[in-house]
Amino acid sequence: MSVSDLTAVVTGAGSTRGIGRATAHALAAAGWNVAILDLDEASAKDAAHDVSQRSDAQAWGLGCDVTDEASVEAALAVLAGTGTPPVGALVNNAGITSPTPFLEVSGAEWDRIFAVNVRGAYNLTRRVAPGMAERGFGRIVFLSSVSAERGGGVFGGVAYSAAKAAQLGFAKALAREIGASGVTVNSVAPGLIDTDITGGALEGERKDQLVAGIPVGRTGNVSDVADLVTYLCREESGYITGATYDVNGGSHMH
Ligand code: NAD
């Protein structure tokens, strides 16, 4: 089986300067067909158009709220109905963050952070993993965060760090459970990457301080993360599972 006969589903890949869109491009360049699911339908379609312009891959862009099971089912049904090749990779990239201090965070905000980062990943993974296991091949990658490993300290608060740490346990337990079916499950833990996830709320002195703590002396580029995700999705990466890969410029070392 070649990746050109398979589809990689990337959630949250609409965002123009985001990790997901860069990952969709990198996967397409590696031969994958790509399905982009994003809350923002127009950006998902734009990303798909962008990917198909720049590669020979087929690309689909669909509006989808990963927190909503019906929305996820509908998006996957549209893909199946358009004759999309089987799903061989899933990149659980859709995510939201929040810097709200724990002593101020509401239950609603806590739930929302978990809904997108954890329940959203469940909603997709639960639906695509059975087909992968049946076909004997699959690659699942979670976009966790250095915040999960070092207890915040970048931008995201306790809710974000807890949700990103939940993804690590999710990935490892699933890797153990479905490893024998040819499906690998890994996490990537980026440090400070230059995207729009902070909504412009991380600038100036605070950002300079953070960069001063990064041994390579800069924020990460989306391509730094996209390349790593694409590597984990290769057919040849089948012996890598249950792993967490740092891509943080040395800002956190184990
Ligand atoms: P981004 O804000 O640029 O992109 C996130 C995308 O997710 C957006 O396109 C948004 O529309 C989509 N999205 C949000 N809620 C959704 C939902 N309910 N359903 C479907 N799509 C939804 O963010 P980014 O910086 O590219 O982050 C991508 C992932 O990487 C996230 O999981 C984030 O937590 C993680 N991450 C980012 C950084 C960083 O520094 N940028 C660091 C560590 C981890």
Q: Is the CB of 75 under 6 A from ligand 1?
A: no
User: Of 37, 131, 67, whose CA–CA distance to 48 is shortest?
Assistant: 37
Q: Is the CB of 149 under 6 A from ligand 1?
A: no
* Residue pLDDT, tens place only, 59-101: 999 999 999 999 999 999 999 999 999 999 999 999 999 999 9
- Give me ligand 1 centre to Cα 133, in Å: 27
**DSSP symbol at 179:** G
pLDDT score recorded for residue 42? 98
Q: Is the CB of 24 under 6 A from ligand 1?
A: no
Which amino acid residue places its CA nearest to atom 9 of ligand 1? 15
* Residue 151: pLDDT band with limits 50, 70, 90: very high
pLDDT at 175 over 80: yes
pLDDT at 28 over 90: yes
- Give me ligand 1 centre to Cα 180, in Å: 30
pLDDT at 202 over 80: yes
Report the predicted TM-score, pTM, of the whole model to 2 decimal places.
0.98
Give the three-state DSSP class for 106: coil
Exposure class string for 39-77: b at 16+ Cβ within 10 A, else e: beeebbbbbbebbbeebebbbbbbbbbbbbeebbeebbe
**The two structure tokens encoding residue 12:** 């949250």
pLDDT score recorded for residue 85? 98
Indicate which residues carry an active-site annotation: 160
The domain locations on the chain are: 3-236
Place of tokens 């990963």: 66
- Give me ligand 1 centre to Cα 93, in Å: 6
Residue 133 burial (CB count, 10 A)? 16
- Give me ligand 1 centre to Cα 196, in Å: 8
Q: Is the CB of 15 under 6 A from ligand 1?
A: yes
* Residue pLDDT, tens place only, 92-143: 999 999 999 999 999 999 999 999 999 999 999 999 999 999 999 999 999 9
- Give me ligand 1 centre to Cα 76, in Å: 20
Exposure class string for 176-204: b at 16+ Cβ within 10 A, else e: eebeebbbbbbbbbbbbbebebbeeebee
Q: 3-236, what's its fold?
A: Rossmann fold (3.40.50)
Q: Is the CB of 19 under 6 A from ligand 1?
A: yes
Give the three-state DSSP class for 101: coil
Which amino acid residue places its CA nearest to atom 41 of ligand 1? 193
How many Å apart are CA 129 and CA 60, to the nearest integer?
20
Question: Mean pLDDT, the chain, as a whole number?
Answer: 97
Give the three-state DSSP class for 40: coil
Closest ligand 1 atom to 43 CA: 9
- Calculate mean pLDDT across residues 14-43: 98
> Ligand 1 test: best mutation among 112, 116, 168, 197, most atoms within 8 Å of CB?
197
User: Looking at this protein, which amino acid is placed at residue 108?
Assistant: A
